[in-house]
Structure 1
Amino acid sequence: MHQPSPPHPACPCPRRRALWLAATGLSLGLLGSANGAPSAKVEGLVRLPRAALQVQINQVGLDSLGPKVAVVSSAGRASSGRYRVLREGRVQTEGPLSALPAFEAWTPGRQHFQVDFSALTAPGRYQVEVWVGGQHVRSATVQVEPQALFRQTAGALLDYFRQSRHLDEGDRRRRIFETDRVVDVWGGWRDAGGDTGKYLSHLGYANFFNPQQAPMAAWVLAHSAHESAGLFARAGLLRQAQDEAFWGADYLHRVLDEEGYFYTTVFDRWGAADAERMVVGYEGEDGVYTRGYRSAFRAGGGLAIAALARAALLAESSGRQGEFSGATYLADARRAFSHLQTFGRSYCANGQENLIDDYSALLAAVELLRATGDAEYLQAARERAAQMLQRQDGEGHFYSDAVGQRPHYHAVEAGLPLISLSHYLSIEPEAARQASVRQALGRALDAQQRLDQAVANPYGYARQRFRLAAAGGTPGPIQSGFFMPHRNETGYWWQGESARLASLSTAAVLAGRALEPSAVPAGSANFGIRADLARSAQAQLDWILGRNPYGISMLYGFGARNPPAAPSSAGVMLRGGVSNGITGAPDSEAGGGLAFANGPSEDQWRWNEQWLPHSAWLLLAAVTLAR
């Protein structure tokens, strides 16, 4: 997740981490260090599988008409082999393996192959069996069926939200930092397994890292329950989805101040005994309290507005509501949007809006337009969309700032710019504006494809452009890599990227469907998008669900192997929760190498801890693919 848990012997605070490690003799060395070589000590860490031959596959669900690819990893340099694909134990197809380009970044000394069985569409349980260099192995099983990801996971993902509800009655009366005001901030969801704090966002002090947290979950639930009501109804999940959407909207109503801004966090330094739980902002890995508790568009304000507006539509269409009415949700959204349009910039740490503000405010304006039909929101959406297109270069890459110096990269919601533009496209009536947005979407999708294919990439992992930067320092040149760089403006924050991958998968599908009709294939195969985009979209989900070098499904309760319980999660792992995931090696500033761990220090949250945005993004991806 995004922060350490409270200090205790098994999970020391950051300030004492080095002393604790020295005293215990443990090391943070990982198999797959920055230079690709194994480190000497790996106590408490999850090792990469050592088997001479491995088949990594999505262990949960693949759509009948979508891409289906397994990755084969073999020790040594064998350049050929054979495979066969089994359905319910019976051979469906077989053939030769051909070696992929050499890939040394994560598993030096191994050769990779792919088995593409996309042509097989019959429902059932599938396995891939391979022979290479005298070795033989069979993969885990995967369910193939129509709308597989939704059918397999939606119920558990909804259960995760319900299990994560925050029910502490003490939140009925919490003080606002440096004031005597007491407000009702009850409800919402615990942010992560070991964190009872509630966040619209965090990391605002670093300006370019704000993730959308509780508001994103509330919007995903409200949007999905409204737009895809039939999908949930056929699965017997509609009422549960509606209940959770209204639960999220009710919390957003409570954290909307009478002045028109949202409270960013309800926080107690991760349960520290000497910390008062209150409405407050905070900075850094020590959780220093600040006055930054008013949410800018990028600090959750924009997505909170979008969620409330969509919850109003859901209330109207369903005849249901939460504690508060649909009319209340809509009035909240309108008031907050007006306030942030006037004062939002002053809530930004550096006093300047950036791309995150743009795409968050754009989605807010789009949802308000859908809920009200008022022309003012169309104009606001047009202005934000135009601003976003100005931040895109000729190759298709987005920049976070206004001067084109900082490439946009995000460990949580890298796909949200394209998702917001895709939603805007659906409400824009003018053909010329539609054409400009479609061109921008196409350039961005093509730029991501080129970036991913610029190096050997057997797993199809979505790469990113970044500049190494320390707080207050001069950033380095633009470079590219697989994982989030560890030297960045936050000073400490990096973690696994399950949410980022699901967001990019969703973006590829939504934006791919929004391209010019000539670029969208006929029929329902490949999710209704170009084959290359479909393969990329599926590859990101496959990584989360087990097709990764560790063979671990990050979705707890699904697949052959899950992350172990982590101290920062109080030893609790919820079915339907998604762990942060795999990262670059800790000793690599640029996030090179590979790492996944459950210890030995409190740093294990970077890999194992379940976090609210991961399940929200996976649910949105599942719904999007199924529509």
Structure 2
Amino acid sequence: MKTFAPDLARHGRRSVLTMTAAAAMAALGAWALPSAALAADAAASVTTVSVQLPTDPLLVQINQVALERVGPKRAIVESTGAAGSGRYRVLSGGKTVAQGTLKPLPAFSEWGAGKRYFEVDFSSLDKAGDYRVEATLGGRRVVSAPVRVRDRALFTTIADKTLDYFHRGRHTGAGDRSIRIFETDRRVDVHGGWKDAGGDTGKYLSHLGYANYFSPQQTSMVAWVLAYTAQTSPELYRRAGLTRRVQDEAFWGADYLHRILDAEGYFYTTVFDKWGGDGAERMVVGYEGEDGKYTTLYRSAYRAGGGMAIAALARASMLAKQSGRHGDVDGATYLADAIRAFDHLQRFSAQYGANGVENIIDDYTALMAAVDLLEATGEPRFLAAARDRADRLIARQTPAGGFIADGGSRPYYHAVEAGLPALSLSRYASVETDEARRAKADTAIRASLDHEIAITRRVANPFDYARQSFQIAPDGKTASGPVMEGFFIPHKNETGYWWQGESARLASLSAAMVVGGRRVAPTAGAGFGIPAAWAGYAQSQIDWTLGRNPYGISMLYGFGRRNPPTVASSAGDMFVGGLSNGITGAVGSDTGAGIAFAPGPDGEQWRWVEQWIPHSAWMLLAATEMAR
């Protein structure tokens, strides 16, 4: 076994990173092994692998997992040769079902010079089956990985293993039944919930609250997605034989949110022990920075997971009523918790934020909370609250359709949930009873979706990767300077250290495009029921995560031809059905320009390889909405 000890890893501790031989094979291009083989191989001989961009003279990059029978289907052909034209064939069942001339794409060199890009669009093929794309160019021929094409393709392919992933990630340690609240002698029972990531047994509603504009929705987002999809799409789960399992997992999440709701009415933001290092006490605490400095910021503002926790509890109460089932506490208790927390945060959320000022994340998460409470209770006061938050959110929209995050000019950009503003407005518009207000929300939704497509397609972009506006934070604390545009989140940002792959961000944008698109531009008979350009954008973000990317790697472990390498310790456990963080801008690039994936071996591999619960939550939501 070859090992090495890196310097400080993500979790502020020294560690040993390893990679199984099977994972090394996967990283180098072998077929991904079945889940049993992956698990059994954990103790096999180990080597270290650094994942570099392929140098093959001809490649076909394709979604390696699942494509909808009626919907966008694209492959990207990469060539390092001089030939400017070539042919393709689409193969199914050993037969040619389509063929034609490769479509040249505009020149693109940001991720490496010397490549030509071509497109194969086989969206018109609408028969279920397994497809491959063969490209012939400059005397060379190559065949892609296979992709399954069927109805409700993504959901039926991944839902079972996604639920497995969450179940295996449950936190069951008995120690959390009595832990201390920071700087007090109070002890509380906060058992349950999910471990946050492969290498992290902490439990977070949000772990970046100190940075104000980067707060991701973590545990509460998982609980909401499970309860929401189970309650609004029961037929999908019934057909898949997953009804009881998704309900159990949703109630597991709701029970945890019930336990972390303090008697005063706020949620505990973090259960943390400095990533298990240095003998740190595990407690209810806030923390900040790469060294995990303990702080008193343990009361969740709306933006630090409190808003989505309320929404999740309200939705769990509706699921309990619909199903006749519940977890450790009943549906009436879930709803009472949600109302009590909402009433409390309406008064105190701003002061729970790190800078004492609400921002766009407070608006869209509080809007989600108000909408779900309205649906659960029918009480007019929640409609009034939803209208207030929708007005605030819409007021932040720029003429171009993007959003401003603060009270000034900082653009909204988010590495995890960039689609949540449009999704929250779509949820609001679905319950608004006033026609003029509903039309105003629909206008904002359309502008937001148009903006996402416009910024993404403003430059040569062969993979149609979602681009974003941003500012860098030169001091690691405050964003300033010119507003820029790029593919990946800037590495020099307000967190001081945090940047990683963006699988969750991409899935959030897909979900928003599908939900919002069906709301403002329903299109019968088209992919996902939305206009072709919007459907293409939504599919492209999922395709990137599932293999149609420059590395040809499916970030969904156990699915596709190539998976991320298994890296122990700082990246931790790798479960079949879990999603790795994904691809980033180049290491050392303040703006996130360039491209990188697992360039180690070193202690930073978590940025690319580690599995994280928001990725799978957003992917499950996107899969469910695509299948509806």
What residue identity is the alignment partner of 1:367? D
CA contact (8 A) 2:6 2:15 kept: no
Paired with 1:90 and 1:396, the residues of 2 have a C-alpha distance of 46
Residues 238-294 of structure 1, C-alpha deviation per residue, up to 9 Å, x if partnerless?
Answer: 100000000000000000000000000000000013200000000100000000000
**SS of 2:439's equivalent?**
helix
Any idea what the Cα deviations from partners look like across 1:555-598, whole Å, max 9, x if unmatched? 00000000011133565310110000000001111001110006
2:350 matches 1:345: yes
Matches within 5 A, 1:572-591: 572-591=573-592
CA distance in 1, matches of 2:86, 2:344: 63
Query: Residues 429-478 of structure 1: CA distance to partner in whole angstroms, max 9, x if unpaired?
Result: 01100110111111111111110111100000000000111334561100
Describe the SS at the equivalent of 1:476. Answer: strand
Deviation at 1:361, TM superposition (A): 0.2
Q: 2:240 aligns with which of 235, 240, 254?
A: 235
- Shift >4 Å, 4+ stretches: 14-21
1:88-116 deviations in Å (ceiling 9; x for gaps): 22100101113111000113100000000
Q: Within 2, Cα distance between the matches of 1:265 and 1:9? A: 31
Aligned to 1:600: 601
Out of 151, 155, 162, the position equivalent to 2:160 is: 155
Say if 1:14 and 1:285, in contact at 8 Å, map to a contact too: no
Q: Structure 1 residue 602: deviation in Å?
A: 1.5
Cα drift, residue 11 of structure 1: 4.3
- Equivalent residues in 2 for 1:426-437, closer than 5 Å: 426-437=430-441
The 8 Å contact of residues 569 and 610 in structure 1, kept in 2 or not, is answered as no
2:224 corresponds to: 219
TM-score normalised by length of structure 2: 0.93
Displacement of 1:407 after TM fit?
A: 0.4
2:82 and 2:138 in contact (8 A); partners too:
no
Q: Is the 8 A contact 2:15 2:569 kept in 1?
A: no
2:383 counterpart of 1:384:
no
- Give the match's secondary structure for 1:211: coil
Q: What is the Cα-based RMSD across aligned positions, in Å?
A: 1.7
1:520 partnered with 2:525 = no
Q: In the alignment, is residue 12 of structure 1 matched against residue 7 of structure 2?
A: yes
Gaps of 5+ in 1: 1-7, 22-42
Alignment partner of 1:111 out of 112, 116, 122:
116
SS of residue matched to 2:488: coil
Shift of 1:17: 9.8
Partner of 1:511: 516
State whether residues 568 and 609 of structure 1, in contact with CA within 8 Å, keep that contact through their aligned partners in structure 2.
Answer: no
| 1:466 partnered with 2:470 | yes
Aligned twin of 1:268: 273
Matched AA of 2:96 = V
- Give the share of equivalent positions with the same residue, in percent: 61
| 1:594 partner amino acid | I
1:564 is matched with 565
From the superposition, tell whether residues 407 and 222 of structure 1 become closer, same or farther in structure 2 (CA, over 3 Å). Answer: same
- Structure 1 position 601, deviation (Å): 2.0
Q: Could you tell me how far apart the structure 2 residues matched to 1:151 and 1:70 are? A: 22
Contact 2:12–2:292, Cα closer than 8 Å, also in 1: no
Alpha-carbon displacement from aligned partner over 1:54-102 (angstroms, at most 9, x marks no partner): 0000000000001000000000332110000011221001011131110
d(CA) in 1 for partners of 2:113 and 2:229? 43
Counterpart position of 1:4 = none
Contact 2:422 2:445 in 1 (8 A): yes
TM-score (norm 1): 0.93
Q: Following the alignment from structure 2 to structure 1, what is the Cα–Cα distance between the partners of residues 325 and 594?
A: 50
Note the 1:302-381 alignment, pairs <5 A: 302-381=307-386
Residues 503-540 of structure 1 show CA distances to partners (whole Å, capped at 9, x for unaligned) of 0000000110111xxx32223x2100010000000000
* Cα separation, partners in 2 of 1:387 and 1:98, compared to 1, 3 Å: same
Distance 2:336 2:266 in 1: 13
The structural deviation recorded for 1:328 is 0.5
Give the letter aligned to residue 172 of structure 2: L
Distance 1:19 1:261 in 2: 35
Q: Residue 13 of structure 1: CA displacement?
A: 1.6
Residues 100 and 9 from structure 1, CA distance in 2 versus in 1: closer, same or farther, beyond 3 angstroms? closer
Please state whether the residue corresponding to 2:265 is helix, strand or coil. Answer: coil
Match of 1:448 in 2: 452
Q: Which amino acid aligns with 1:535?
A: G
2:505 aligned residue (500, 504, 507): 500
Q: Judge conservation of contact 1:77–1:109 (CA < 8 Å) in 2.
A: no
Moved more, 69-78 or 367-376: 69-78
Q: How does 1:121-140 map to 2 (within 5 A)?
A: 121-140=126-145
1:422 aligns with 2:426: yes
How many residues get paired? 594
Structure 1 CA distance for aligned equivalents of residues 382 and 288 of structure 2: 33
Q: Which moved more, 1:470-479 or 1:349-358?
A: 470-479
CA deviation map 1:294-347 (0-9, x unaligned) = 000000000000000000000000000000100110000000000000001000
Whole-angstrom distance in 1 between the partners of 2:124 and 2:506:
25
Give the distance between the partners of 1:134 and 1:103, measured in 2 at CA: 23
2:542 is aligned to 541
